[in-house]
Structure formats: structure tokens, C-alpha cells
Structure 1
Amino acid sequence: MKMSGERKRRIGIVGFGRIGRYLVQRIEEEGYKHDLELAFVWNRSAEGLQGRVPGHLQLLDLLDFDECKADLIIEVADPCITRDFGERFLRAADFLVGSPTALADQTTESKLREMAGRSGHTLYVPSGAFWGGEDIQRMAERGTLQGLKITMAKHPKSFRLVGELVEKNNQVVNERTILFEGPVRSLCALAPNNVNTMAAACVAAHTLGFDNVVGVLVADPSIPDWHHVEIEVTGPTNEKSGQTFAVKTSRWNPAEPSSVTGSATFLSFWSSLLVCKGHGGRVYLC
């Protein structure tokens, strides 16, 4: 039973796109059930908050976030936020990095891991569309994880790409086309808003990491309202029989046409938020 006057966990939301708006609404409507309340909401364009977020919760300058005394800060804006503010966030509060492609930058990942250890705050990485993440993490911890490959297929219009993949994607008309196959670290720089699932996988599969988890990005015009993710896990080989442990999962996430984010992702983020209650100075998949 909850005690009267029990302190609520204060949540800061950085980013007010579709996921940010969803989380703000859920906290406003259901936060009392989970001892949660908003500490602040920041958006790159302050005008986007007008009429949607009470004035006293609008944070106009992100550099002033510490004045709001948040217990947990959630980034759902852009990978550059984690690169530029992640250390500061972790110094003051637990931090959920909603764009884990930011961790593909080795310097950023190292700094955040170090700060989590020094501050005692937790760096949370949401599993998102990464099915079976906890099992894969346990395999990595036991030293039995040998390989991990993730194939993500979306309609060409559902991608936000940069660099060499832009033109390649623009040329896709009717045929299912592989845009990229290789280390996830390289892919994160080319599709920072599309492969957060793969980045979360690299965190879980920490013995392989961003350089040895294989990512495959596929443009498929035949699936305008779906995001399809296949995960292939390879474990140890039996020396006597030659048999190799393997698991393959296939996840179909409904999505609005041309949408970067599948519909199931919103509920997944809310579930991740509810897990973030402080797990000490470490990285934690949620």
C-alpha cells in the first residue's frame, strides 16, 4: 500500500515529437498510479510546447535542466542530445537514452559508462523492437554468445537516411533492396533515426558490441504499413556432434505509412520508463 505523501519520481522529457508527446500524455493521465510526475519538457522549438504543456513545465534552455530536479531524464529527440548532454544528465539523474545510436560513437559510450559508474546513476537503454534482449544479454554474460545478426525491413519512405544510403534508397522502386549489410557501428551513422533497435542489441550483446553485431537494412516497397525485424542469434557449437545453438525471431510491427516509428514502440517506451527506478551506476537494458 502506498503511503500518503510518498515522494513521486520526477521525469524530465527531452524532445516533443510523437514519442515525447505520448510519454507526456501518459504521465499526465496515469503518472499518479506509478508515483510519477513531470519535472520538465524541452523541445528544440519552444513553440511546439505552447498549448500542449503547462507553462511551469516548459524548459526553454536545456542547460537549465538541473534546476528542475528530475530523478530520470528521457531523451526522445536526437542522438546529438546524448552526445552533447548525456554526461551532464547522468551527473544529476538517471538517464534513459531513447536514441541509442548515439552510443555507436565510442567516445560518447565510454564517457557515459564512466559517468554512470562515478555518479551512481543508471544509464538506461530501452529495448524497443529488440525482441529477446534480456536472453541475449545473459548469453553475453555467460560467454556463450557467438554471433548476432539483425535484419530490419521497412518501406523506402519510412527511412531517414544520410550519406551514401540516401541515393541508394531513392532508387528503390518495386524490388526489395538491401541498402546496407555490415557492422552496426557503421550503419548507425548512416541511419541514426532508424536503427535504434540495432544499437540496443549491441548494448545487450556487449561481448560483440557495435563492431561485431551485423546489421542489415532493407528497403521493401511491398510493406507500406509494417516494420519487420528479424533477429538471428548464434551460440556455442557442440564439439562432439557439431551442432550449433541458434535462435531466429521475426517481429512484425504495424506502422503508419511513411512512419519512422512503429505503433508498438510507444507502449514499449512506456514499459521501459516504468522499469527505470534506479539500478545503480551501470548500463541497464530496459
Structure 2
Amino acid sequence: MAAKAGFRKPRRIGIIGFGHLGQYLTTMIEDEGHQHGLELAFVWNRSREKMDGKVRRELQLEFLSESMQRSADLIVEVAHPQIAQEYGEEILKHADFMVGSPTAFGEQGVDAKCREAARRYGHTLYVPSGALWGAEDIQKMADRGTLKALKVTMTKHPDSFKLEGSLQEQKESGSSQRTVLYEGPVRQLCPLAPNNVNTMAAAAMAGHNLGFDQVQGCLVADPSLLDWHVVDIEVDGPVDESSGHQFTVKSTRRNPSSWGAVTGAATYASFWSSVLKCKGHGGKLVLC
């Protein structure tokens, strides 16, 4: 039977990770996906029982390797940077890939491997801007080579940070007062705070002429911030030769959040908007 005129096959979305953000995206696709030509292909979570009663059984994956057989058009990772590090190239053989944990690219070589896989197989590698205000403008400056410096400062309540090693010890020792936990290149911070500094990693991807080694990150624990996540972005551009003045932009984003939450409220809607933009842009990296 011939397809109905104007019929368009739904774009199938797979979700990797079923934390708060994964649950939100799953619900949005199930409840509103038909309005945007989307349908759920699968959901995978390390602890499968977490999906019971929330995800239809036939859509639950027991093993992540099964995702390649589900004919997904777009696979969205909102779990852990290890997913892109270990499976990024394989996923890009079969589908477009939205990396919700871009701290994965802080590991040497992962960025280049995923970009090359996207080019080779014609699928798009998407990096959501998340809490990074002005991502497209930063990328435009990087494309022109006019981005001279970029710094992202993230300030949260100490309980909103999930840290590793020395940073966790530092957080605990200074938990009663505002404490600068880290200030320096984003690359060195990514493995120490893989779930908290995706905004900084997205900035390093957007500011690609500086990259992870030159984009600066500053992580601040502030016990007075009970229900806010604050992101300050400082951009330096070229110096005007006639006046000697430098182009600068400074922005502050105050995102309401529940006490102790890793992700602020506005970031959920930002991720959904990013998913809606992921319609296939060919074999390249796209900020969304």
C-alpha cells in the first residue's frame, strides 16, 4: 500500500541514562513527541529496575549494546561521560549522537575520534549548550579566530557538587564557607567533576580555537546558595587598534534549583529544546 501523501516517518529517539534529566526527556517524548514527529526507540539505564513502572517494558534495554539494533535516528546520552568515551564511535556508525556529558571530550583523543566518526558515517555529533548562555556567539568568534579568552565560573551549594579525589576532600574541609574549589584549564577539571562541569566542557567545544587547555574554569562552593545555580561567563575578544579598547562580554545566569540538585530547573527545558533541534545536520559537530 502506498504511503499517505505528506506522511513522514517519526524520528526515533533513544535515551541513555534515566536520572532526573533522562526521566524528563523520556516523559516529554512520550507525552509530546507526536507533536514534533518524534517517538521513543529505547531507554537504557545501568540499574534497569529504576525504569520499572515508568518505561514500557518493550522499550527498556537490558544491555547498552542492544541499542544499535533499535533503529534509532538520534541517541541522547544523559548518563555519564564514560558512554561517549567508550561507545561514541560505535553509536555514530548507526545514528546521530547528542552528548549530554561533554566532559567526555576532556579526555585526550575522544573529541577527535568522535568528530572523525561523524564525518566518516555521515551522522551528526551534537553538543547541547545546556547552561552555557551565548554558546553560538562564542562559537562564531572561535570560527573567526577572534575569541582571545574565555572563563566560566560555576557557583553552587556544596551539596550540588559530585566531585572526585582531592576536590571532594577540599569541598568537605571548607563546607561552612564560600570556597573556590578549582581555578584553571577546563581539561584538568573534567575528570574531577564529570557530572558538574558540562557547561564548561560545552564552552571548550564552542570556543574551539582555545579548547580544553585554554578555556578557564572556576568552581565555587557557596553554602548560602540553597536554591540557585549561578554561571558567570567572561569573554575577551580582539583589541581595537585605534582606541586600544578590548571587546568583552560578561553574563550571569541564575538558574533556580532544588536544594542539592546537580541540574538546575531551566536546564531541563534547554535540553528538550536541544533535542528538538537535532534533526540531522550531516557528518559534523553541531552545538544545539
Note the 1:9-88 alignment, pairs <5 A.
Answer: 9-88=11-90
Give the structure 1 partner of residue 204 of structure 2. Answer: 202
The number of equivalent residue pairs is 285
CA distance in 2, matches of 1:60, 1:20: 16
Q: Measure how far apart 1:4 and its partner are.
A: 5.1
Misfit runs of 4+, over 6 Å? none
CA distance in 2, matches of 1:4, 1:25: 27
CA distance in 2, matches of 1:234, 1:3: 52
CA distance in 1, matches of 2:133, 2:79: 23
* CA shift digits 1:120-178 (9 cap, x unpaired): 10000000000000001001111111000010000011100001101100012332111
Q: Percent identity, aligned pairs only?
A: 59
Partner AA of 1:117 in structure 2: R
Q: Say whether 1:269 aligns with 2:271.
A: yes
Q: Measure how far apart 1:250 and its partner are.
A: 0.3
Partner AA of 1:159 in structure 2: F
Could you tell me whether the CA contact under 8 Å between 1:227 and 1:262 is conserved in 2? yes
Give the structure 2 partner of residue 129 of structure 1. Answer: 131
Could you tell me whether the CA contact under 8 Å between 1:234 and 1:245 is conserved in 2? yes
Q: Say whether 1:219 aligns with 2:237.
A: no
Partner AA of 1:53 in structure 2: V
CA distance in 1, matches of 2:156, 2:92: 34
SS where residue 96 of structure 1 aligns? strand
CA distance in 2, matches of 1:259, 1:77: 15
Partner AA of 1:231 in structure 2: I
1:150 equivalent among 140, 149, 152: 152
CA distance in 2, matches of 1:20, 1:149: 29
CA distance in 2, matches of 1:46, 1:222: 36
Q: Measure how far apart 1:109 and its partner are.
A: 1.1
Could you tell me whether the CA contact under 8 Å between 1:161 and 1:190 is conserved in 2? yes
Structure 1 portions without partners, runs of 5+: none
SS where residue 106 of structure 1 aligns? coil
Partner AA of 2:273 in structure 1: S
Partner AA of 1:82 in structure 2: A
Structure 2 portions without partners, runs of 5+: none
Aligned-CA RMSD value: 1.1
Q: TM-score, normalised by structure 2?
A: 0.97
Partner AA of 2:213 in structure 1: D
Give the structure 1 partner of residue 231 of structure 2. Answer: 229
Q: Measure how far apart 1:240 and its partner are.
A: 2.4
CA distance in 2, matches of 1:61, 1:143: 43
Could you tell me whether the CA contact under 8 Å between 1:23 and 1:270 is conserved in 2? yes
Q: TM-score, normalised by structure 1?
A: 0.98
SS where residue 54 of structure 2 aligns? coil
